[in-house]
């Protein structure tokens, strides 16, 4: 057993190392070590703190893992009011704002700070001697809710600042677009009401009573204001942002100081076109007088500062006509109404279809066939109908009724649980459910079986050859040839080869392919790493599952319920005859160990997420930007500025073929 003094020294070292790497990953988006290396550091720290509980402190990184559910949120009275912002969509009103500012200050020209306006949830944080002591929502500006435990679950927010300051900060909690899209897909499949937009999702998440659920949602936050900045001798808004960055807070990086309204309007126009390239929702530009002394002189109205205005982007909405209705059936049987629309331009694309989520959604909004409807894009997910416009009805519109039977198999439909909002096909043998399950199992995210696309899977399922994923591994060349049209000898050989190749996939791919509710590829990796085998996962209790980062009471219960179903257990037992059931990632070959990669452009065979996973799986590290520490820049089509920077630094540039040669594929 390690002596106490040695343990104390090692605990201090581990905390500093973990905090450093957490900052690189969650704040700078530029990790230096792999997830597995980070997990090993956390495991070592957890073990030492369990052995010597007196060494655990409120700012230990392990605090995020051991957060407990609470009964309710307490009210917090804000010592300093959180004001709202005046806002406008009009260039003319921005000019009027500038005129008022100049006249009030008696000066001819004003320097403004332009910051992108994050579409999230406003929060206030208090640090005492560098330690996070309270996190609160904005509420009505005077009174908010104490969400400290949930704030601790947001990994981009430091538990201890990099300087020992007593300070109050303001920021915005948000849900990244990719996380929002994954979350909504999972909610729709699970029969739950999807969130309308990333902001609602962030707000709903921050008000969860179980911080472990918050951790699993992967919220993040940007910070933009220091309360009482004069205490720190700050004179400019730009200096506030610099201090926030210095003490370890995450700031939105695309701010700019401009001279006069010409610069403001140019900045707004630039980001009005570029906002869709960001992985977080922004709905405008916050224009602030940069000089803090001028801010103090200008003061506040009863609801907003006189020194700032939100210059909003045009809403990504359009009006069109709902022509007809299609019903889709998902892999869990969820029946989703999909509207067929008169084509309309929205956010640079032509929209012909839009999701209506479920029939409760349709009923509550009284949406009818032939209605004029408002369509919007939330995140990057499929466009959705927001509402109908009853005033434009002519009398020919028809109400939308929920189906009394499955549109595919004609089987019974209903809600699995009383609290569900989604209607589901209750027939376990429904070809649509089976087909969707098989398609998902074969997808790149899961088992990545090349050649088994949607149409071919439909034909195989319709033939009766495949009723579950395990049946894929029983297919013969003769079975495929018997399907007839367009399947020849070569194609059949390639399909059998691809199916056989998938038997060597890592365990997390198998777990992903099982389609467990709420378990995507990231959580599948954590489950594989935590339990080590499919057999151990099947035997895991709810308590065991809750020990995995990001799994709270509700998700643990859902996973346990799914894995306990007799049909699921039988299918997994059958599948285990063919696929890899052990997590061998810790012991497998690591040809890229110690190498740092930057990926840019579109690759022929991989999505960005897939190539990043492959690099990490083989021991490499993925960086977000090119620096002198980068070993290789992997380029695809339309690589952009990262390739140019690599050339200027003399960093080696490789394409996908050279990458595959490096790893021996």
Say if 431-504 and 507-575 have the same CATH topology. yes
Q: Which CATH superfamily is domain 596-663 in?
A: BRCT domain (3.40.50.10190)
What average pLDDT does range 161-180 have in this prediction? Answer: 93
Find the mean pLDDT for residues 106-127. 95
C-beta pairs of 19-27 under 8 Å, 24+ apart in sequence = 19/61, 19/158, 19/160, 22/61, 22/155, 23/158, 23/248, 25/155, 26/155, 26/156, 26/220, 26/250, 27/156, 27/248, 27/249, 27/250
Q: Is 532 left (phi over 0), alpha (psi -120 to 50) or beta?
A: left
* pLDDT tens digits along 210-243: 787 788 788 999 999 999 999 999 999 999 999 9
* pLDDT tens, position by position, 347-376: 667 888 988 888 988 999 999 999 999 998
Distance CA 157, CA 134 (A): 12
Average pLDDT over residues 39-62: 84
User: Has residue 113 got a pLDDT over 90?
Assistant: yes
pLDDT score at 35? 65
pLDDT of residue 47: 82
Phi, psi angles (nearest 5°) of residue 222? -110, 145
Judge contact between 523 and 216, C-beta under 8 A: yes
Distance between CA 109 and CA 101 in Å, rounded?
9
Q: Residue 303 catalytic?
A: no
Q: What is the mean pLDDT of residues 425-433?
A: 87
Is the Cβ–Cβ distance between 639 and 600 less than 8 Å?
Answer: yes
Residue found by looking up tokens 């020919």 in the block: 396
Statement: residue 503 has pLDDT above 70: yes
What pLDDT does residue 18 have?
87
What does the pLDDT look like over 368-384, one tens digit per residue? 999 999 998 755 456 88
Topology of domain 431-504, per CATH? DNA polymerase; domain 1 (1.10.150)
pLDDT at 305: 93
CA 56 distance to own-chain centroid: 31
How confident is residue 620, by pLDDT bands cut at 50, 70 and 90? confident
Which neighbouring-strand residues pair with 286? 115, 310
CA 497 to chain centre: 34
What pLDDT shows up at residue 485? Answer: 64
Q: What pLDDT, on the 0 to 100 scale, is given for residue 555?
A: 86
Measured between alpha carbons, how far is residue 219 from residues 131, 174, 201, 260 in Å? 21, 6, 10, 35
For helices 521-531 and 35-51, what crossing angle results, to 10°? 50
Sign of CA dihedral 638, 644, 646, 647: positive
Q: Does domain 507-575 have CATH number 1.10.150.20?
A: yes
DSSP string, 560-615: HHHHHSHHHHHHHHHHTTTS--B--TTTS--TTTT-EEEEESB-SS--HHHHHHHH
- CATH code assigned to 4-64: 1.10.287.610
pLDDT at 276 over 90: no
55, 48 Cβ separation under 8 angstroms: yes
Which position among 56, 117, 288, 509 bears the catalytic label? 117
Q: Is the pLDDT of residue 585 over 60?
A: no
Cα–Cα distance for residue pair 606/622, rounded to 1 Å = 15
Q: What pLDDT digit, counting tens, does each position of 542-564 carry?
A: 888 988 877 888 888 889 988 99
Q: How confident is the model at residue 487 (pLDDT cuts 50, 70, 90)?
A: confident
Distance CA 136, CA 117 (A): 20
CATH architecture of the domain covering 317-399: Beta Barrel (2.40)
Average pLDDT rounded to a whole number, residues 51-69: 78
pLDDT at position 591: 84
- For residue 222, the cross-strand partners are 172
Q: State both tokens at 353.
A: 């279809």
Are 417 and 191 in contact by the 8 Å Cβ rule? The answer is yes
Mean pLDDT in residue range 56-80: 79
Residue 533: DSSP 8-state: B
Whether pLDDT at 144 is above 80:
yes
Tokens of 344: 């309309």
Provide the residue ranges of all domains of the chain, joining segments of one domain with +.
4-64, 87-312, 317-399, 431-504, 507-575, 596-663
Closest among 221, 225, 227 to 241, alpha carbons compared:
225
Tell which wins on pLDDT, 48 or 398. 398
Look at residue 68 in the predicted model and tell me its pLDDT: 65
Confidence of residue 458 (pLDDT cuts 50, 70, 90): confident
For domain 87-312, say whether CATH 3.30.470.30 is its number: yes
pTM across the whole model: 0.59
**N residues, the chain:** 665
pLDDT band at 50 (very low <50, low <70, confident <90, very high): confident
Write out the two tokens for 20.
């450093």
Average pLDDT, the chain: 87
Q: What is the mean pLDDT of residues 13-42?
A: 78
Confidence tier at 453 by pLDDT (50, 70, 90): confident
Q: 3-state class of 344 per DSSP?
A: strand
Higher pLDDT, 307 or 24: 307
Q: In the numeric block, which tokens belong to residue 76?
A: 């917090």
């Amino acid at each position: 057993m390690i002596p106490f003094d040695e343990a104390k020294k090692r605990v201090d070292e581990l905390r500093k190392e973990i905090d450093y790497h957490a900052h690189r990953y969650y704040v700078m988006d530029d990790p230096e070590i792999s997830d597995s290396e980070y997990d090993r550091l956390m495991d070592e720290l957890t073990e030492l703190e369990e052995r010597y509980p007196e060494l655990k402190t409120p700012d230990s990184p392990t605090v995020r893992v051991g957060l407990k559910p609470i009964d309710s949120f307490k009210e917090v009275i804000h010592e300093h009011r959180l004001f709202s912002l005046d806002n406008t969509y009009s260039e003319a009103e921005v000019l009027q704002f500038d005129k008022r500012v100049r006249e009030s200050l008696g000066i001819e020209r004003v320097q403004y700070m332009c910051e992108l306006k994050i579409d999230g949830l406003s929060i206030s944080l208090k640090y005492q001697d560098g330690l996070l002591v309270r996190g609160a929502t904005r509420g009505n500006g005077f009174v908010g809710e104490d969400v400290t435990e949930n704030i601790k679950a947001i990994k981009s927010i430091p538990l201890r600042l990099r300087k020992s300051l007593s300070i109050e900060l303001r920021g915005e909690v948000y849900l990244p677009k990719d996380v929002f899209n994954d979350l909504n897909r999972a909610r729709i499949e699970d029969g739950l009401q999807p969130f309308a937009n990333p902001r609602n999702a962030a707000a709903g998440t921050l008000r969860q009573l179980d911080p472990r659920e918050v951790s699993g949602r992967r919220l993040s936050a940007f910070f933009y204001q220091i309360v009482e900045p004069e205490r720190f001798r700050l004179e400019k808004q730009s200096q506030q942002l610099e201090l926030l960055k210095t003490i370890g807070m995450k700031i939105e990086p695309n701010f700019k100081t401009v001279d006069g309204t010409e610069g403001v309007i140019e900045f707004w126009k630039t980001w009005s076109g570029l906002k869709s390239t960001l992985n977080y929702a922004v709905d405008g530009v916050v224009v602030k007088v940069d000089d803090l002394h001028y801010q103090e002189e200008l003061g506040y109205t009863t609801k907003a500062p006189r020194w700032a205005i939100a210059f909003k982007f045009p809403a990504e909405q359009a009006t069109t006509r709902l022509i007809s209705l299609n019903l889709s059936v998902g892999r869990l049987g969820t029946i989703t109404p999909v509207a067929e629309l008169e084509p309309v331009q929205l956010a640079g694309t032509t929209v012909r279809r839009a999701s209506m989520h479920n029939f409760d959604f349709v009923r509550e909004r009284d949406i009818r066939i032939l209605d004029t409807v408002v369509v919007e894009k939330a995140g990057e997910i499929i466009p959705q109908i927001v509402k109908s416009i009853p005033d434009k009805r002519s009398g020919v519109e028809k109400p939308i009724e929920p189906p009394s039977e499955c549109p595919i198999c004609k089987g019974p439909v209903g809600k699995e649980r009383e609290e569900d909002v989604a209607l589901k096909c209750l027939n376990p043998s429904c070809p649509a459910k089976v087909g969707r399950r098989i398609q998902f199992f074969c997808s790149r995210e899961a088992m990545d079986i090349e050649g088994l696309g949607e149409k071919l899977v439909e034909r195989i399922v319709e033939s009766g050859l495949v009723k579950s994923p395990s049946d894929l591994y029983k297919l013969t060349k003769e079975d495929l040839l018997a399907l007839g049209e367009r399947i020849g000898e070569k194609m059949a050989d390639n399909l059998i080869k691809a199916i056989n190749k998938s038997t060597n996939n890592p365990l997390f791919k198998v777990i992903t392919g099982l389609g467990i509710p709420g378990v995507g590829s990231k959580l599948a990796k954590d489950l594989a790493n935590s339990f080590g085998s499919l057999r151990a996962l099947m035997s895991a209790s709810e308590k065991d599952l809750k020990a995995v980062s990001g799994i709270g009471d509700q998700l643990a219960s859902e996973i346990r319920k799914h894995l306990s179903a007799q049909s699921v257990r039988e299918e997994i037992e059958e599948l285990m005859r063919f696929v890899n059931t052990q997590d061998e990632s810790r012991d497998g070959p690591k040809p890229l160990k110690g190498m740092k990669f930057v990926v840019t452009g579109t690759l022929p065979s991989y999505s960005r997420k897939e190539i990043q996973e492959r690099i990490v799986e083989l021991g490499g590290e993925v960086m977000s930007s090119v620096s002198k520490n980068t070993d290789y820049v992997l380029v695809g089509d339309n690589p952009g500025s990262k390739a140019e920077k690599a050339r200027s630094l003399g960093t080696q540039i490789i394409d996908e073929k050279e990458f595959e040669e490096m790893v021996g594929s």
